[in-house]
Structure 1
């Protein structure tokens, strides 16, 4: 089963690279505003997870330079478990204006949030 997952994961990554979406075009000053806002976000993910790929493709479509953190790597995995509450990906870490942190799970919820905020 592990081998099947590995093969499917690599296939997903290849297809994602071949059929990569185009980014949204914005004026330079608007894109700079978006870039500054996106610095408050971080996506905890696994590289070949289909739901994580779905979120990354949406971020690319919206031209969001979203920081990704591999949840298999020790410091990010520990932070996700301790602060987010579960080792489940994708998970979007959102730093609010008042310095509160929100942890958003579920790819569809994350995509809806990104589209509402940045589209």
Structure 2
């Protein structure tokens, strides 16, 4: 089963590379503001997870320089479990005035990114 998942994961990554979306164009001032806002976001993910790929593709389409954290690596995995509450990816960590929010569903993450950054 692990071999099949590994093979499928590599196929997903290759297809994502080949059919990578184009980012939207913004003025340099608008992109600078977007970049400042995106600095408050962190995406915990696995490279070959299809739901994580879906979120990363949307971030690329929206021209968001979203920091990704591999949840298989110890410090990020521990942070995700201790602060987020569970080891589930994708997970978007959102820092705001009220503290930190953890968003776990790919569809919710994409809807949030579209609502906040699709201009």
TM-score normalized with structure 1 length: 0.98
* Structure 2: runs of 5+ lacking an equivalent: none
SS of the aligned residue for 2:102 comes to strand
Q: What residue is the counterpart of 2:46 in the other structure? A: 46
CA RMSD of aligned residues (A): 0.4
Q: Secondary structure at the match of 1:48?
A: coil
Paired positions, count: 118
CA distance in 2, matches of 1:13, 1:66: 18
In the alignment, the residues of structure 2 paired with residue 67 and residue 97 of structure 1 have an alpha-carbon distance, to the nearest angstrom, of 20
2:51 equivalent to 1:63: no
Residue-by-residue CA offset, 1:52-104 (whole Å, 9 max, x unaligned)? 00000000000000000000000000000000000000000000024x00000
**Matches of 1:70 and 1:36, distance apart in 2:** 22
Give matches, 1:2-81, under 5 Å: 2-81=2-81
Which stretches of structure 1, 4 residues or longer, exceed 6 Å deviation after superposition? none
**Normalised by the size of structure 2, how large is the TM-score?**
0.98
Long gaps (5+) in structure 1? none
